[in-house]
Amino acid sequence: MALIGLFTRKHAASAPPAEAPEPEAWPEIGETWKPEGLPVAERYYNQAQAVVLVARTSQDPYGTSYYLVACLGCHFLSTRTKHHSFYIRYALGQAAEAANAHADTCRALPRELPPRPDEDTARNLLRSWVTDMARRNLLHPDTDLDLAEFDSGRLELLRTNEWIQTELEALAAERSDLLVVRRDDRTGTVRFRARPLPR
């Protein structure tokens, strides 16, 4: 009896189960992203699952909305389509077609979402665009700008139309040699006129 008890194995007390590690959060690649100032109307996926956004940039006084198309994989961004010999801003149907066509051919992997710049950075960015436009328009005595001129930079700026308009009005008050504000009496919209600058 004593000999049998000598070889009997006793199981060690089992350790409490280790807690399962928290699953890592899936990085945001644009599937639910709501960029400031750009209400997203539609989302498409390219061949590598990067998101192609169709987002509204503005609405004119007559109720027509305009859109941009932006790929969050590659750096494709489009705000206009060619119509005969000139370019027109996207309506929703045209923007959706452009987004779908791009998604069909793009193989870029999802990339990080663009960061929202702080107020000073955004303000300086907007002012540099206006200054650049004024220099490029040297051959034209005066050029009207409206907020659509900044559509191609909206994902970089990440601000509302109201913010852009307020900043442009402040710039016009500060630099009347560069920018002048004028109001359209018929539509009530604010227009800006860039003054040409020497290169």
Domains belonging to the chain, first-starting first, are: 40-105 (no CATH), 119-194 (1.10.10)
Amino acid at 162: E
What SS3 state is found at 144? strand
The full DSSP string for 23-89 is PPPPPP-SSS---TT--EEEEEE-TTS-EEEEEEEEE-TTS-EEEEEEESSS--EE-EEEETTEEEE
The span from the CA of 37 to the CA of 114, in Å, is 14
Neighbours of 186 (CB within 10 A): 7
pLDDT of residue 6: 55
Placement of tokens 């007390």 in the chain: 13
Instruction: List per-residue pLDDT tens for the chain, 199 residues long.
Output: 555 555 566 666 666 666 766 766 666 788 899 999 999 999 999 999 999 999 999 988 788 999 999 999 998 999 998 776 678 899 999 999 999 999 999 999 999 898 999 999 999 999 999 888 877 765 466 667 878 889 999 999 999 999 999 999 999 999 988 888 888 787 777 888 888 776 5
pLDDT of residue 164: 95
Return left, alpha or beta for 178; rule: phi > 0 is left, psi -120 to 50 is alpha, else beta. Answer: alpha
d(CA 160, CA 128): 18
Which residues are registered as beta bridge partners of 97?
Answer: none
Asked if 67 contacts 56 with a C-beta cutoff of 8 angstroms, the reply is yes
pTM of the model: 0.78
161-174 vs 119-136: helix crossing angle, rounded to 10: 60
